Amino acid sequence: MPYKDLREFIQKCEQLGDAVAVHREVDWNLEAGAITRRCCELQAPAPFFQKIKDYPAGYRIFGAPLSTFRRLAIAMDLNPEASVRQIIDTYIERSRKKIKPNIVKDGPCKENIMTGEEVDLFKFPAPFVHHGDGGRYISTFHIIATKDPDTGWANWGMYRQMIHTKNSLGGLMAPAQHIGMMLRNKYEARNEPMPFAVAIGTEPITCLVGGAGIPAGVDEVDVIGGIRGQALDIVKCETVDLEIPATSEIVIEGVVLPKERKMEGPFGEYGGYCSIPNLPRPVYQVSAITHRNDPILTMSNMGMPVDDADIIQGMTMAAEIFVTLKDMGFPVTGVHTPPECCCSTVVVATKVPYANIASRIASGVWASAVGHFVVKIIIVDDDVDPTNMNEVLHAWATKCHPIRGTTVIPQAVMTPAYPYYSPEEVHYNTGCNVYYDCTYPKRWPKEKKAIRSSFRDIYPKEIQEQVLANWSDYGFKQ
Ligand SMILES: Cc1cc2nc3c(=O)[nH]c(=O)nc-3n(C[C@H](O)[C@H](O)[C@H](O)COP(=O)(O)O)c2cc1C
Ligand SMILES: [Mn+2]
């Protein structure tokens, strides 16, 4: 059964040893962030902070909700031991069967309502996440809903928000992100305010899909229903014409003011560095906040792998790219976005029916709905498991010719989260990409294919079976 709210998901994680209730008081100023960061780096259970300094009992923080593949599997109601491949396959299968939401009259998110002068974002223990951040970030694991004024398409995406004042927020809206396109191309083009609603502390699939690259024009809430296998209950907002998950812990409503900008950032980024400077960015003016009793604020901590973006965005990128390449007719057998590479790098395993298919596959990856995030592509033969970095790095090190196997694309969409770019490249927003063809080298004759000297490849089947059958008898424990 899908989870009806965040609380049921946390309870399940606690039962399985994948979340830990922290009873000792922690400070919202860096301490909660530092603990969460360490949990990410150790792939430890998610911290569930029960008492936050300066805040009343009951106001809690749940850190790193989906920063392990185990918790992602639990969120999707799969066996916690499910492999990355099983998770990707399930995501692909369920996300194609969309289910429309249920609009309900009321929900727990309306237990407390603040409007007008009562609005105060500091009522919540918004964390100062990393040393050096530009402020306190209340929205680091959430969704922001906005609506296309022409088509009614309701976009739900995860875009960070920093508190400016008790009733205003700032955030990054990259031009290629759906919220950035809606603001600039629709609302600001007409000089109109853009209504928004933020949901923090939702059942887990909402944020999974909020952080996923779903094609423009698709309502993320329908995909959420598909992955849950059950419609999501949504409820109308108080002051804007938008709907939001009924069981959300905290809902923030208002409008983005057209053409208004205020300094926002810097912020520890998903690339693993605090690399993008603070700049004038859009401002969210808050008109209402509603919340559950004893609200739980969710918090991610972007940085060195493995964090929630590496898991959520990475897995869903792999799924989207796999489907795109299959639809294009390529004989690909698997796609993986290694969490260690912070969404920059994609591994594609493929059959090779003709020479240089790698170049066409790479073009397909960059043309996909999530292609603007991809900088490096590693293309391997179908006997390499793309989710096994041991095999992938071996193929890259031994089968990719340093010159002929490497193709550089000198002009590409820029993803400034990576610090190797020069100030000039950043200024002109010009990136560059590369793909590595690690498929069977052309100088090795087909009829004399070099066999990998691995247990699986080089020994006769009978010997393999014999060794496996006797493994514990030899004295090995695993
Ligand atoms: C934990 C997490 C934090 C994220 N923070 C941001 C952010 O601050 N700004 C941003 O543009 N994208 C951020 N992303 C990536 C977007 O959520 C992702 O690209 C998503 O596809 C955006 O939705 P859209 O495709 O509807 O635009 C984040 C993703 C995750 C998983
Ligand atoms: Mn979208």
pTM: 0.96
Assign 387 a pLDDT band (cuts: 50, 70, 90): very high
> Which stretch of 154-158, 337-341, 439-443, 465-469 has the lowest confidence by average pLDDT?
439-443
Whether pLDDT at 248 is above 90: yes
Whether pLDDT at 448 is above 90: no
Atom of ligand 1 nearest to the CA of 267: 8
- Residues 1-15 have a mean pLDDT of 97
Q: Which two tokens stand for residue 282?
A: 């859009």
> Is 110 close to ligand 1, i.e. is its CB under 6 Å away?
no
Asked if residue 465 belongs to a domain, the reply is no
Q: Which two tokens stand for residue 472?
A: 């514990």
Which of 91, 143, 276, 313 is the pocket-test mutation for ligand 1 (most atoms within 8 Å of CB)?
Answer: 313
Atom of ligand 1 nearest to the CA of 313: 31
- Residues 107-118 have a mean pLDDT of 97
Q: Atom 18 in ligand 1: which residue has the minimum CA distance?
A: 211
- Cβ atoms of residues 107 and 242 within 8 Å: no
> Both 348 and 237 in a single domain?
no
Assign 334 a pLDDT band (cuts: 50, 70, 90): very high
How far is 308 from 208, CA to CA, in rounded Å?
9
Whether pLDDT at 442 is above 90: no
Mean pLDDT of the chain: 96
- Cβ atoms of residues 360 and 330 within 8 Å: yes
pLDDT at position 275? 79
> Is 265 close to ligand 1, i.e. is its CB under 6 Å away?
no
> Both 232 and 364 in a single domain?
no
pLDDT at position 229? 97
> Is 300 close to ligand 1, i.e. is its CB under 6 Å away?
yes
Provide, rounded to the nearest whole percent, the portion of the chain with pLDDT above 70. 100
> Is 343 close to ligand 1, i.e. is its CB under 6 Å away?
no
Total domains in the chain come to 2
Provide, rounded to the nearest whole percent, the portion of the chain with pLDDT above 90. 92
> Both 137 and 281 in a single domain?
yes
Q: What is the pLDDT of residues 341-356, one digit of tens each?
A: 999 999 999 999 999 9
Which of 159, 172, 275 is the pocket-test mutation for ligand 1 (most atoms within 8 Å of CB)?
Answer: 159
Asked if residue 427 belongs to a domain, the reply is yes
> Is 182 close to ligand 1, i.e. is its CB under 6 Å away?
no
Whether pLDDT at 443 is above 90: no
How long, in residues, is the chain?
Answer: 478
Whether pLDDT at 260 is above 90: yes
> Is 129 close to ligand 1, i.e. is its CB under 6 Å away?
no
Distance in Å, CA 157 to ligand 1 centroid: 6
pLDDT at position 144? 98
Atom of ligand 1 nearest to the CA of 308: 1
Q: Atom 29 in ligand 1: which residue has the minimum CA distance?
A: 211
Asked if residue 308 belongs to a domain, the reply is no
How far is 196 from 178, CA to CA, in rounded Å?
13
446 in the Ramachandran plot: left (φ > 0), alpha (ψ -120 to 50) or beta? Answer: alpha
Q: What is the pLDDT of residues 278-289, one digit of tens each?
A: 999 999 999 999
Q: Atom 12 in ligand 1: which residue has the minimum CA distance?
A: 159
Assign 174 a pLDDT band (cuts: 50, 70, 90): confident
Asked if residue 309 belongs to a domain, the reply is no
Q: For residue 55, what are the contacts with CB-CB under 8 A and spacing of at least 6?
A: 28, 124, 125
Atom of ligand 1 nearest to the CA of 172: 9
Assign 426 a pLDDT band (cuts: 50, 70, 90): confident
Say whether 171 sits in a helix, a strand or coil: coil
- Cβ atoms of residues 232 and 224 within 8 Å: yes
Distance in Å, CA 393 to ligand 1 centroid: 28
Distances (CA, A) of 448 to 441, 444, 456, 458, 461: 12, 7, 18, 14, 20
Asked if residue 318 belongs to a domain, the reply is no
Asked if residue 50 belongs to a domain, the reply is yes
Asked if residue 415 belongs to a domain, the reply is yes
> Both 278 and 341 in a single domain?
no
> Both 292 and 339 in a single domain?
no
**Which of the residues 269, 340, 424, 462 is marked catalytic?**
269
Q: Is 447 a known active-site residue?
A: no
pLDDT at position 276? 83
Q: Which ligand is nearest to the CA of 282?
A: 1
Query: In which element (H, E) is residue 462 found?
Result: helix 461-469
pLDDT at position 394? 98
> Is 157 close to ligand 1, i.e. is its CB under 6 Å away?
yes
Whether pLDDT at 445 is above 90: no
> Both 404 and 257 in a single domain?
no
Distance in Å, CA 178 to ligand 2 centroid: 5
- Residues 166-194 have a mean pLDDT of 95
Q: Which ligand is nearest to the CA of 171?
A: 1
290: domain CATH number is 2.30.110.10
Distance, first Cα to last Cα, the chain = 34
How far is 88 from 84, CA to CA, in rounded Å?
6
> Both 132 and 193 in a single domain?
yes
Q: Which amino acid is at 359?
A: S
Phi, psi of 204 (to 5 degrees): -70, -25
Distances (CA, A) of 224 to 82, 148, 162, 171, 441: 20, 19, 26, 24, 43
- Cβ atoms of residues 59 and 298 within 8 Å: no
pLDDT at position 417? 87
Atom of ligand 1 nearest to the CA of 155: 26
> Is 155 close to ligand 1, i.e. is its CB under 6 Å away?
yes
- Residues 411-439 have a mean pLDDT of 91
Q: Which is nearest to 377 in space by CA: 390, 391, 389, 361? A: 361
Whether pLDDT at 415 is above 90: no
Query: Which domain covers residue 348, as residue numbers?
Result: 328-458
345: domain CATH number is 3.40.1670.10
Q: Atom 5 in ligand 1: which residue has the minimum CA distance?
A: 159
How far is 123 from 200, CA to CA, in rounded Å?
14
Assign 154 a pLDDT band (cuts: 50, 70, 90): very high
Assign 427 a pLDDT band (cuts: 50, 70, 90): confident
Distance in Å, CA 244 to ligand 1 centroid: 18
Distance in Å, CA 343 to ligand 1 centroid: 11
> Both 183 and 283 in a single domain?
yes
Q: What is the pLDDT of residues 279-324, one digit of tens each?
A: 999 999 999 999 999 999 999 999 999 999 999 999 999 999 999 9
Distances (CA, A) of 95 to 13, 76, 89, 212, 331: 23, 11, 10, 11, 22
pLDDT at position 449? 82
> Both 245 and 354 in a single domain?
no
> Both 159 and 250 in a single domain?
yes
Whether pLDDT at 197 is above 90: yes
pLDDT at position 365? 98
Q: Atom 16 in ligand 1: which residue has the minimum CA distance?
A: 211
> Both 174 and 220 in a single domain?
yes
> Both 258 and 370 in a single domain?
no
Whether pLDDT at 277 is above 90: no
Rg of the chain over Cα atoms, rounded to whole angstroms, equals 23
Asked if residue 307 belongs to a domain, the reply is no
